[in-house]
Amino acid sequence: MNDNYPMFLDAELVRRTKVFHIILFVLGTLLMLPGAVVAYFAAMLMDMGGFPGFGEKAIANPIYCAIAGTGTGVLAWVMLGLLFFKRADPRWHVVVWPSLILFSVVAGFGCFVWLTMHEVADATLIVAVLWTVVIASLLCLVIGCRNFSFAFKSRRKMKAELEAFLIRYEPAAPINPPN
């Protein structure tokens, strides 16, 4: 009976996502220090300039964009790190890859907002970094959607195997002793 019991692990999912998982985790680790510096300076600027609130200008405020991008980047990095402990479990993959998609949307939007501001156009190095982050966030979006699709299909396959197992091995009806 143990041979036919459905496993909740998928080696094929690990094989398909392993390379991008490791690459993204290493890149996230390398970007932790710059992300911490960005968050620190953004917090310092917020403290000096006051807290303008969440109005119309708050969405386009580069300080909020930097903090939101850094925060979602840290969340995605932590989730990718936790995935090392449960690589073959599709349930974890279904939670991890949307965090990467969230990071790509938030960071990509934030950097694009910075690029549309006229004050940044003079600083060539900042523009190059912002375009790098926009391109990286687009790649993360593609990788995250691809791996999330694999995880979702694997999760659906595991659920179908469990239902087939439960239908095949229904428990026997209890034997009622004669009274």
- Tokens at residue 167, please? 């239908």
Is 95 part of a structural domain of the chain? Answer: yes
Kindly state the average pLDDT of the residues 161-166: 76
Render pLDDT for 92-124 as a digit per residue (tens, 0 to 9): 889 999 999 999 999 888 888 777 776 655 667
Contacts by residues 168-174 (CB-CB < 8 Å, ≥ 24 positions apart):
168/4, 169/1, 169/4
Is 46 part of a structural domain of the chain? Answer: yes
Is 3 part of a structural domain of the chain? Answer: no
Is 1 part of a structural domain of the chain? Answer: no
Query: Is the Cβ–Cβ distance between 134 and 115 less than 8 Å?
Result: yes
Is 124 part of a structural domain of the chain? Answer: yes
Is 4 part of a structural domain of the chain? Answer: no
Give me the pLDDT at residue 50, please.
Answer: 55
Task: Give the torsion through C-alpha atoms of 34, 35, 41, 44, to 10 deg.
Answer: -150
In the chain, the number of structural domains is 1
Is 174 part of a structural domain of the chain? Answer: no
What percentage of the chain exceeds 70 in pLDDT?
Answer: 75
Task: State which residues form the domain around 131.
Answer: 11-168
Distance CA 155, CA 161 (A): 10
Report the chain's mean pLDDT, rounded to a whole number: 79
Distance CA 173, CA 141 (A): 51
Q: Which of 76, 92, 90 is nearest to 136 (CA)?
A: 76
> Which of 34-43, 80-89, 133-142 is predicted least confidently?
34-43
Residue 1 banded pLDDT, cuts 50, 70, 90? very low
Is 175 part of a structural domain of the chain? Answer: no
Render pLDDT for 43-70 as a digit per residue (tens, 0 to 9): 776 666 555 555 555 555 777 777 888 8
